[in-house]
């Protein structure tokens, strides 16, 4: 009983610490976890290829794909097209290109020009 409570409190504190971090998990961390997952599944003789190629998995992937296409076509396509076609995107894109050119030329970016400076003693 004590061991379960200690483990439970340890896990709760670890989860709280993860929530306090600002960065989150990196892409390398995700790749590493995927690699570890494959090793663990291989240890237990799980054939990933057989699972993915099974008729049930293909049916599930097809369902998720059609639901995603439906979500895009019915709900997201029109608002996204309106935003992409607007002058707002061109404004941000032109600003982005200008700042990239400034970085390439060694000049300060717009953000650096307007950022407050503080004297260092």
φ/ψ region of 43 (left if φ > 0, alpha if ψ in -120 to 50, else beta) reads alpha
Tokens, residue 67: 């639901």
Kindly report the pTM of this predicted structure: 0.43
- pLDDT average, residue stretch 10-22: 61
- 46-70 pLDDT per residue, tens: 998 998 899 999 999 999 999 999 9
Tokens, residue 6: 């200690």
């Amino acid at each position: 009983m004590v061991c379960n409570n200690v483990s439970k409190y340890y896990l709760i504190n670890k989860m709280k610490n993860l929530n306090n971090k600002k960065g989150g998990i990196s892409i390398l961390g995700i790749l590493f976890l995927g690699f570890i997952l494959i090793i663990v599944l291989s240890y237990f003789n799980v054939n990933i290829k057989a699972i993915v190629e099974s008729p049930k998995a293909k049916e599930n992937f097809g369902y998720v794909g059609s639901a995603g296409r439906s979500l895009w076509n019915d709900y997201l396509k029109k608002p996204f097209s309106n935003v992409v076609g607007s002058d707002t995107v061109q404004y941000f894109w032109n600003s982005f290109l200008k700042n990239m050119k400034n970085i390439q030329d060694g000049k300060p970016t717009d953000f650096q020009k307007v950022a407050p400076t503080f004297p260092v003693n």
